[in-house]
């Protein structure tokens, strides 16, 4: 059996708000927490590995002709090797919420059965169904609709016919849970639950919940559990608002963030048969701004389970900026659909550019903790990656994975970054670009797993390709960094300046921001390392570099001070006496903003990408050679730099970088 020990997320949604302690933006202890789906968690030890499927028969549920399955997936599939447990010893409840989206067209029908999958028997259990309020960001159960004893359970599916069926109402969240005894024996008995993570790539915000005193504070609460997919729990509905033949489209995505005219746009989406009978043929259309570009005739045989489809559209004649790409159902078995058509069309934003700039640096935010035993693997991988390329601005963001062993490099700003970007350690985000590949990003977060069961060099080679394929977002603004440092006052002044392409605001938005980080190298502390012997161990004086020391002035960045297509932002900061200024660097980047309202992170992980980054040692200046490529016949030299960024007053022997009046740059060799 594959045994995975799941741990709690670092914040929870509590029934009794008095005991709630969680992560709020900027690190303020409060009961106001980051919103659902943006959870900070601790990952399984073998995170990043996919369990092999066991060829074991699973029971088929017996359905009446007018009954249908609904849930986070709707097949009989189970992975009996995917047993999981929680880091606890005692009685717990495990469950999930059927959200209005999951219930869908089952509204108005009767919930007649519940089925839940187990890796092994848990004996007798108590099945409970409750309404739940999630409007505050907490899981607050309401009315109990079902309380039913299941005398015996088995490994595999457990099908329970409800003594009192429930009529499903529109807009209601239904919390379905069962009781079990979580053990901590070090045997297979510790892993009785089953999740769908190995065969269903759509983890839900409410797909895995647990109730108990999981933080040891003496009171029980509901927790989100991350890193394990959705629990294998399904419902059976009789009736509902299902049409005779119906197709549901969902989850449209594009293969890149930006395109130029002439590019082939690869688009993916999900399709499922959600009617009473399955259609034999159908036609889909693809359009840009309402203009049909292509049609697809019955590309796959439909089933009630969602299937992934892809298509391609070559674009031409589009203006720079945002356009709408849509996929829609044209006909079902030769007829134009008229019932339940609200989910017959899905659309997404297509960003088109005409002018771009060279990439200066790729921002890599590493998420690590001194109490994370697999984090040294991630550190080794990133060291190997930086040996392959010289265009990386590396920032190490520390968190407290184990509060019993506090990480001395945690700062308040880190809480927001951790809560927004990752589900576990060790992770990293690359240009804050969302990687839409389940084999790399199985948790649907910005930060992806960077510890694998392979050598650091092998994993680095993989991520080198990841960066080339998924995160090479075009650059729409240059960055020149000029920094000064006064050792007497320990005051640092930072000037970030540059130029943007003509359509910068159309592509990046009026609310794009500049962020400035201070990092420090040459630090040492104790580090847990699972590579130290069979059981792992603590390493004294483990090296820590690129450690995030400060965000200037804040973690969410500041507006860009534009003057036409040029900008200039100035910052100042006092270097803490405990920091070694000689080992510090300044990282600046331009990105979509992380938006925080009343302590809640409101930004989608797909809307935080970095368009350019630069890094210099504190007290030094970058060359700022990346500028908009706009030609001008009578351009003249306006500045000259050495390779180290020092401005030259005259041609100097060696390579000179010349900045022209039209914004272009060129390198010349002076003999």
In percent, the amount of the chain with pLDDT more than 70 equals 84
What's the rounded mean pLDDT across residues 434-458?
85
Spatial distance between the Cα atoms of 582 and 201, rounded to a whole number of angstroms: 46
Q: How many C-beta neighbours within 10 Å does residue 310 have?
A: 12
- Evaluate if residue 129 carries a pLDDT over 90: yes
The DSSP symbol for 444 reads -
pLDDT value of position 655: 66
> How far is C-alpha 644 from the geometric centre of its chain's CA atoms?
36
The CA angle 84-213-103, to the nearest 5 degrees, is 60
pLDDT value of position 419: 85
- The structure tokens 């007798």 sit at 124
pLDDT band at 12 (very low <50, low <70, confident <90, very high): very low
What pLDDT, in 10s, does the model give residues 466-483?
888 777 778 999 999 999
Phi and psi for 384 in degrees, rounded to 5? -65, -35
Global confidence as pTM:
0.68
> Which residue, among 88, 235, 240, 58, has the nearest Cα to 161 in the 3D structure?
235
- Evaluate if residue 342 carries a pLDDT over 60: yes
pLDDT value of position 115: 97
Lowest mean pLDDT among 404-418, 524-538, 644-658: 644-658
- Report residue 540 as tokens: 């004294």
Q: Please state, rounded to an integer, the average pLDDT across all residues of the chain.
A: 83
Could you tell me which residue, 48 or 212, shows the higher pLDDT?
212
Mapped to the 3 state alphabet, what secondary structure does 176-243 carry? EEEEEEECCCCCHHHCCEEECCCCCCCCCCCCCEEEECCCCCCCCEEEEECCCCCECEEEEEECCCCC
Q: How many C-beta neighbours within 10 Å does residue 510 have?
A: 10
What pLDDT, in 10s, does the model give residues 178-213?
999 999 888 888 899 999 887 876 678 899 999 998
pLDDT value of position 138: 78
- Evaluate if residue 572 carries a pLDDT over 90: yes
Q: Give 7: exposed, middle or buried? Use CB within 10 Å, 0-12, 13-18, 19+.
A: buried
pLDDT band at 634 (very low <50, low <70, confident <90, very high): very low
Lowest mean pLDDT among 19-33, 40-54, 429-443, 617-631: 19-33
pLDDT value of position 629: 42
Lowest mean pLDDT among 114-118, 463-467, 557-561: 463-467
> Which residue, among 611, 351, 625, 633, has the nearest Cα to 477 in the 3D structure?
611
- Evaluate if residue 34 carries a pLDDT over 60: no
pLDDT band at 227 (very low <50, low <70, confident <90, very high): low
pLDDT band at 374 (very low <50, low <70, confident <90, very high): very high
């Amino acid at each position: 059996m594959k045994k995975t020990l799941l741990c709690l997320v670092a914040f929870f949604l509590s029934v009794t708000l008095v005991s709630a302690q969680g992560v709020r933006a900027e690190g303020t202890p409060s009961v106001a927490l980051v919103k659902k789906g943006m959870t900070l968690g601790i990952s399984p030890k073998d995170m990043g590995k996919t369990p092999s499927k066991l060829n074991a028969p699973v029971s088929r549920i017996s359905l009446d002709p007018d009954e249908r399955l609904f849930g986070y997936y709707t097949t009989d599939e189970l992975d009996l090797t995917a047993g999981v447990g929680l880091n606890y010893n005692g009685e717990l409840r495990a469950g999930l919420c059927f959200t209005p989206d999951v219930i869908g067209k089952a509204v108005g029908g009767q919930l007649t059965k519940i089925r839940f999958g187990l890796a092994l028997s848990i004996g007798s259990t108590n099945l409970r169904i409750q309404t739940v309020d999630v409007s505050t960001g907490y899981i607050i159960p309401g009315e109990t609709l079902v309380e039913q004893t299941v005398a015996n359970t088995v490994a595999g599916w457990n099908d329970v016919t409800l003594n009192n069926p429930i009529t499903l109402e529109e807009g209601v969240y239904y919390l379905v849970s069962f009781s079990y005894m979580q053990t901590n024996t070090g045997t297979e008995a510790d892993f009785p639950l089953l999740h769908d993570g190995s065969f269903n790539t759509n983890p839900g915000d409410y797909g895995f919940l647990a109730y108990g005193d999981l933080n040891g504070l003496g009171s029980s609460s509901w927790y989100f559990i991350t890193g394990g997919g959705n629990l294998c729990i399904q419902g059976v509905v009789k009736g509902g608002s299902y049409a005779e033949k119906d197709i549901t489209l969902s989850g449209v995505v594009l293969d890149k963030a930006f395109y130029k005219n002439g590019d082939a746009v690869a688009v993916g989406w999900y399709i499922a048969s959600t009617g009473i009978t399955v259609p034999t043929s159908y036609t889909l259309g693809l359009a840009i701004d309402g203009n049909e570009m292509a049609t697809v005739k019955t590309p796959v045989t439909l089933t009630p389970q969602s299937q992934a489809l892809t298509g391609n559209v070559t674009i031409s004649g589009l203006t720079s900026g945002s356009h709408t790409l849509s996929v829609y159902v044209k006909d079902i078995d030769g007829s134009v659909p008229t019932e339940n058509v609200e989910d017959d069309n899905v659309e997404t934003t297509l960003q088109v550019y005409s002018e771009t700039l060279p990439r200066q640096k790729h921002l890599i935010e590493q998420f690590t903790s001194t109490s994370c035993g697999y984090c040294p693997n991630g550190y080794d991988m990133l060291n190997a990656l930086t040996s392959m390329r010289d265009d990386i601005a590396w920032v190490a963001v520390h968190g407290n994975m184990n509060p019993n062993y506090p990480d001395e490099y945690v700062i308040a700003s880190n809480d927001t970054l951790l809560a927004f970007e990752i589900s576990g350690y060790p992770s990293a985000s690359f240009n804050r670009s969302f990687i839409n590949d389940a084999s790399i990003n199985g948790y649907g977060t910005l930060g992806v797993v960077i510890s694998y069961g392979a050598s650091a060099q092998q994993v680095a080679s993989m991520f080198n390709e990841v960066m080339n394929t998924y995160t090479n977002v075009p650059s729409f603004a240059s960055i020149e960094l000029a920094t000064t440092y006064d050792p007497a006052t320990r005051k640092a002044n930072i000037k970030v300046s540059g130029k943007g392409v003509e359509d910068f605001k159309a592509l990046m938005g009026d609310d794009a921001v500049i962020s400035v980080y201070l990092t420090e190298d040459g630090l040492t502390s104790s580090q847990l390392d699972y590579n130290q012997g069979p059981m792992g161990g603590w390493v004294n004086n483990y090296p820590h570099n690129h450690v995030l020391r400060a965000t200037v002035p804040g973690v969410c960045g500041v507006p860009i001070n534009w003057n036409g297509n040029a900008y200039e932002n100035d910052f100042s900061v006092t270097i803490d006496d405990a920091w070694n200024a000689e080992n510090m660097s300044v990282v600046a980047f331009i990105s979509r903003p992380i938006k925080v309202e009343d302590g809640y992170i409101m930004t989608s992980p797909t809307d935080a990408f970095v368009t350019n980054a630069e890094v210099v040692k504190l007290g030094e200046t970058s060359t700022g050679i990346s500028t908009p490529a706009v030609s001008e016949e009578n351009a003249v030299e306006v500045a000259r730099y050495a390779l180290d960024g020092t401005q030259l007053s005259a041609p100097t022997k060696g390579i000179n970088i010349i900045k022209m009046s039209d914004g272009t740059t060129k390198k010349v060799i002076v003999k």
